[in-house]
Amino acid sequence: MISTDCDRLTAIILGDELAGFLHKALEIERAFETVAEWEGYVSVEKKEFKNVLFQLVSDSNGHGRTVESLLKMVHTGNDYGELPLQPRVFNFGGKNELEVMSEISRIENIMFDLYSNIREALQDSDFHKLLIDKDNAAPFMTALDGLIDDETRHLSLISKYVRKLDRLR
């Protein structure tokens, strides 16, 4: 079971736990590709905002595929790949460009924290035992590192817009 001791996560010891975290990540990534995000895309007027949003939505699509592949590597008592995704709704209606970027920043921070916390917990685990094939341990971590790197890049992309909003407040 994953738990915290003030500063540090403990190991993930069950495949079902790992799959549960990945399933939650998949729900959020899939939600980011929905109509609401495209609403955000069409609601912004500046080309630079549109370009950033397009990149984020496009990357999220790839992240969803990556998380699906990670889920298929995990040995569980459940079939997480077949569980229905709970709908996540991000509403950008009626928000200006900076507010849209602020909300997206919040989502990107959640994803960065989620992927980073999974990685940290797995480093403290004998996590190859959580996988169907222990030879997938290195590709699993490489894919997880790629997700973390992408989320870091996303946060950097949108940080200048969030700083503008913070200055306006």
Beta-bridged to residue 74, according to DSSP, are 131
pTM of the model: 0.82
How many structural domains are present in the chain?
1
Calpha distance 127→101 (Å, rounded): 36
CATH number at residue 80: 1.20.1260.10
Higher pLDDT, 60 or 40: 60
Residue 97 is assigned to a structural domain of this protein: yes
pLDDT at 38: 63
pLDDT at 166: 58
Report CA-CA distances (Å) from 159 to 1, 22, 32, 109, 144.
34, 26, 18, 11, 22
Look up the domain containing 146 and give its range: 11-168
Residue 2 is assigned to a structural domain of this protein: no
Model pLDDT for residues 56-105, shown as the tens digit of each residue: 888 888 999 999 999 999 998 865 555 555 555 566 667 777 777 788 88
Model pLDDT for residues 109-145, shown as the tens digit of each residue: 999 999 999 999 998 788 999 999 999 999 999 999 9
Residue 4 is assigned to a structural domain of this protein: no
Residue 5 is assigned to a structural domain of this protein: no
Residue 25 is assigned to a structural domain of this protein: yes
Calpha distance 147→154 (Å, rounded): 10
